[in-house]
Chain A
Amino acid sequence: MSTTTTEALSATTLLRFATAGSVDDGKSTLVGRLLHDSKSVLVDQLEAVERASASRGQDAPDLALLTDGLRAEREQGITIDVAYRYFATPRRRFILADTPGHVQYTRNMVTGASTAELTVILVDARNGVVEQTRRHAAIAALLRVPHVVLAVNKMDLVGYAEKVFAAIAEEFTAYATELGVPEVTAIPISALAGDNVVEPSANMDWYGGPTVLEHLETVPVSHDLAHCHARLPVQYVIRPQTSEHPDYRGYAGQIAAGSFRVGESVTVLPSGRTSTISGIDLLGKPVDIAWTTQSVTIRLADDIDISRGDLIVPTKDAPATTQDVEATVCHVADEPLRVGHRVLLKHGTRTVKAIVKDIPSRLTLDDLSLHPHPGQLVANDIGRVKIRTAEPLPVDSYADSRRTGSFILIDPSDGTTLTAGMVGESFASPEPVKDQADEDGWDF
């Protein structure tokens, strides 16, 4: 291999995506095929699966064993947790958050979707859009995953009929659009037979769009910086205090959104002090401009008091600070979240004390209806909360910035991650209209 090939390989981009599907929709088969056909399943892994399958008395290799990594999962034949898988084509690298389909694992899909730029939602062509499909679409919308792929699977079992596909695609797209999903790409596939997963299907010449892999390879991943508020959560203050660098003082962090330029006027929150960027170091190398997800060190013209947890923003585009945070949350812990709960809230690089003031509503994902004042949220519940923080926080709306609009709640007693939060309005934000009693219990 020549050096130029090496360079070309390392210049590919990275796409993070998540899969969602009900138990028998063929998610494992789709994942298996993507891994297998991109040469990411190697001989010794296949041999291990064959050995394990044979020792269980199975006739054929059980490809689910490729992805079910834990003892309990293999014993019970279920997937209990998010796993991350890796594969690559010459055009792009992929990180796949492989999330279980069971409804009780809503939190796992939320976890996978939080870092995903694309979600593949599988449906069975024979069943069409079902409750679970609507849940998956709602979570993708809530987490603001930029791209949604509807993979209509098992087309081989409906005679590869265009009419079946078109009806499902239309119904799903209408639903997702209503939720605010910005882009839906529907693809008719058979994961088992391989139609339109990696290779175009000979059985569906009426379909003119990309295969799943082709779409994954070409979907744009970068952000439109012009419309992003620039944000740098300060992680760490770098002060060498050596003879070589006696006065160096840099504010290290990963740019959460937008871009920063040398010479720009910036404000430090929550203190509100202002200064000018005198230098940006990109991992040791000075640059004039740096942008989102780059880890940088910013130097300022004035010696002002800045520490971990502060947020550096452009002076002309600073968010308001608040001690009253309203958000849509997904509760991820087994212990319920209740009104009056004292918690820690981690936002960016800042962790503050907080108290749950109110839980105005809980969302029913099936029909997107709101239960008013549920009193508590249990594991996998999605609801609205009002939180009072001990210190002012510069929060953005999650709709504007997935990174500075998100937070987690932590149990101060044992460190458990309790809740994932998204600040501001969402499709789940309107107050509940009817004040019905909550006597029918939890409905998902």
Chain B
Amino acid sequence: MTTVAEAATGGEGTATPYALSHLDALESEAVHIFREVAGEFENPVILFSGGKDSIVMLHLALKAFAPAAVPFSLLHVDTGHNFPEVLEYRDRVVAAHGLRLHVASVQDYIDRGVLKERPDGTRNPLQTLPLTEKIQSEKFDAVFGGGRRDEEKARAKERVFSLRDEFSQWDPRRQRPELWNLYNGRHAPGEHVRVFPLSNWTELDVWQYIAREGIELPQIYFAHEREVFARNGMWLTAGEWGGPKDGETVEKRQVRYRTVGDMSCTGAVDSDAATLDAVIAEIAASRLTERGATRADDKLSEAAMEDRKREGYF
């Protein structure tokens, strides 16, 4: 039956009881992805930073295999400039679920003279080498990342199962088409697959899911008083990592973080959102993307993310 411009029938399209809510649909899809990896790979690992996306990933993995344990270990790339609250959270979660945590340490590489501190102080680009060497030395064949396609336009092109060569490089022109939900995890020895179970989630989805599931987060995601200083239009936390410099002054402000990463390049936003509901309301009304608001390194160049991903960054 075809008509020209007939008004859609069925009203809201949510009339039947068998339509999943968007959060249920995203959750089910992510669980399917975790189980595919568990079924097809020998040695998968979840990248876990203690940030909200990796926390949601872990929560989904716990649900996917309940009542059994998560069949993956965790890997944290520690920049050496992490927020202490986040490291404390990380260790508490690992202990609570009896998980195995691998740590790749940027500070180690700097101490050994393999990596050099950058003049701008940011350690984000320095994470790539410790990450990729750890993947090689532990022979991880699937590496879960919390990346979402809504974050950045290079990520909008990223597959759910994304092949990385033996140098962990991403080649956007060599990506496999992804059809239906038939993920292809084939890879040669030395290669691995990056897996993004949250590909189809947006920042708001992540927050709504955290609220629905009652997932605990590190407190820096909620409004609190903090000593910060302004650099490149962002509020950075003062600390031993190297800020403030001459001419930058520290002040006490009520802020919260939208993302959690290296202290040297992750900015806080002014906020009085102290609860999940307040955070969700704030994000829904925000006119800035999460990266635009809080990440200095993405502004380095138009293709900053693509370039870092090509090298093996997550």
Chain A residues in contact with chain B, CB under 8 A?
A: 1-3, 6, 9-15, 42-45, 48, 51-52, 66-72, 74, 80-86, 88, 91-93, 95, 107-108, 110-111, 114-115, 166, 169-170, 173, 176-177, 181-188, 207-210, 214-215, 217-223, 225, 235-236, 238-242, 244-245, 248, 252-254, 259, 281, 283-284, 291-295, 308, 332, 344, 346-347, 349, 402-403, 406-408, 410, 414-417, 420
12 further contact pairs, Cβ within 8 A, besides A14-B26, A209-B4, A349-B39 = A1-B284, A10-B211, A42-B289, A70-B172, A186-B4, A235-B35, A244-B67, A253-B32, A254-B29, A294-B24, A308-B39, A403-B181
Min CB gap A354→B, angstroms: 14
Q: Which of A44, A74, A209 contacts B293 (CB 8 A)?
A: A44
Taken together as a complex, chains A and B put the C-alpha atoms of A414 and B180 apart, in Å, by: 21
Q: Are B175 and A115 in contact (CB under 8 A)?
A: no
B24 / chain A contacts, CB cutoff of 8 Å: 294
**B281 pairs with A1, CB closer than 8 A:** yes
List the B side residues contacting A223 at CB < 8 Å.
18
Report B-chain residues with C-beta under 8 Å of the C-beta of A67. 153, 156
10 inter-chain pairs at a CB distance below 8 angstroms, sorted by A residue, are A6-B208, A67-B153, A69-B156, A115-B181, A173-B3, A222-B15, A238-B68, A344-B186, A406-B182, A407-B182
Of chain A, the residue at the smallest CB distance from B207 is A6
Query: Which residues of B are found within 8 Å of A332, using beta-carbon distances?
Result: 177, 179
Interchain nearest-CB distance for A91 vs B (Å): 7
Q: How far is the CA of A82 from the CA of B199 in the complex (A)?
A: 14
- Contact, CB under 8 Å: A293 / B2: no
* B window 177-197: CB within 8 A of A: 177-182, 184, 186-188
Q: Bound state CA distance, A402 and B182, in angstroms?
A: 11
Looking at the complex, which one of B19, B181, B202, B303 makes contact with A222 (CB distance below 8 Å)?
B19
Take A70-B157, A209-B6, A291-B18 as given contacts and tell me if A10 and B212 are in contact as well, using a CB distance cutoff of 8 Å.
yes
Q: A86–B200 contact, CB under 8 A? A: yes
For the residues of B in contact with A, the DSSP-based class is: loop
**Residue A254 contacts which of B31, B152, B153 (CB distance < 8 angstroms)?**
B31
A84 touching B66, Cβ below 8 Å: no
A239 touches B68 (CB 8 A): yes
Which 9 pairs from chain A and chain B are nearest by CB? A44-B292, A415-B186, A209-B5, A69-B153, A1-B281, A222-B19, A240-B68, A14-B22, A295-B31
Of A42, A91, A111, which one neighbours B178 at CB under 8 angstroms?
A111
* Complex interface: chain A residues within 8 A of B202 (CB): 86, 88, 93
Chain B 209-250 residues near chain A, CB threshold 8 A:
209, 211-212
Residue contact B156 to A220, C-beta cutoff 8 Å? no
Residues of B within 8 A of A (CB): 1-16, 18-29, 31-32, 35-36, 38-39, 63-69, 149-150, 152-157, 163, 172-173, 175-182, 184, 186-188, 199-200, 202, 204-205, 208-209, 211-212, 277-278, 280-281, 284, 286-289, 291-293, 302-303, 306
Neighbouring B residues of A347 by C-beta, 8 Å: 182
> A173 and B4: CB pair below 8 A?
yes
Alpha-carbon gap, A183 to B1, bound state (A): 6
| B32 and A69 contacting across the interface, CB-CB below 8 Å | no
**B residues within 8 A CB of A48?**
292, 302
- The answer to whether A208 touches B289, judged by C-beta atoms less than 8 angstroms apart, is no
| Residues of A with C-beta under 8 A to B2 | 173, 176-177, 181, 183-184
Contacts of A69 in B (CB 8 A): 152-157, 306
Judge whether A403 and B180 touch: CB under 8 Å.
yes
Q: How close is A182's CB to chain B, nearest CB, in angstroms?
A: 8
Which B residues touch A344, using CB under 8 A?
186
**Complex CA distance for A177 and B24, rounded to whole angstroms:** 34
Given A52-B302, A70-B306, A86 and B5 touching (CB < 8 A)?
A: no
Known contacts A10-B23, A81-B172, A240-B69; decide if A254 and B28 are in contact (CB<8 Å): yes
Which residue of the partner chain, among B6, B39, B175, contacts A235 with CB atoms under 8 Å? B39
Q: Give the most central of A188, A209, A220: most B CB within 10 Å.
A: A220
Smallest Cβ distance from B26 to chain A, in angstroms?
7
**A398–B289 alpha-carbon span in the complex (Å):** 40
**Residue from the list B67, B154, B177 in contact with A284, Cβ < 8 A:** B67
A89 to chain B, nearest CB (A): 12
B64 touches A292 (CB 8 A): no
Question: In whole Å, how far is B262's beta carbon from the nearest beta carbon of chain A?
Answer: 20
Our pick among B14, B150, B157, B180 for the contact of A81 (Cβ within 8 Å) is B157
Q: Are A295 and B153 in contact (CB under 8 A)?
A: no
Inter-chain contact B292/A253, CB cutoff 8 Å: no
The residue of chain B having its C-beta at the shortest distance from the C-beta of A14 within the complex is B22
Would you call A295 and B32 a contact (CB within 8 A)? yes
Evaluate contact between A11 and B21: CB separation under 8 angstroms. yes
**A91 x B286 contact (CB < 8 A):** no
Chain B residues closer than 8 Å to A210, beta-carbon distance? 5, 7-8
A333→B14 CA distance, assembly (Å): 38
Complexed CA–CA distance, A67 and B63 (Å): 34
Kindly list chain A residues whose C-beta atoms are within 8 Å of the C-beta of B67.
238, 240, 242, 244-245, 248, 284
From known contacts A43-B287, A210-B8, A218-B11, infer whether A410 and B186 are also in contact, taking CB-CB under 8 Å.
yes
B18, B69, B199 — most chain A CB neighbours (10 Å): B18
Minimal beta-carbon separation of A141 from chain B (angstroms): 12
Expressed in whole angstroms, the Cα–Cα distance for A349 and B180 within the complex equals: 12
| Residues of B close to A72: CB separation below 8 A | 172-173
Contacts of A214 in B (CB 8 A): 8
Question: Which of B4, B69, B208, B289 gathers the greatest number of chain A CB atoms within 10 Å?
Answer: B4
Closest to B24 in A: A294
Task: Across the interface, name the chain B residue whose C-beta is closest to A42.
Answer: B289
With beta carbons under 8 angstroms apart, the residue of B66, B150, B179, B188 that contacts A408 is B179
Contact B187–A415 (Cβ < 8 Å): yes
Residue among A3, A95, A110, A242 with the highest chain B CB neighbour number at 10 A: A95
**Is the Cβ of A220 less than 8 Å from the Cβ of B177?**
no
Most chain B beta-carbon contacts within 10 A, residue among A88, A225, A252: A252
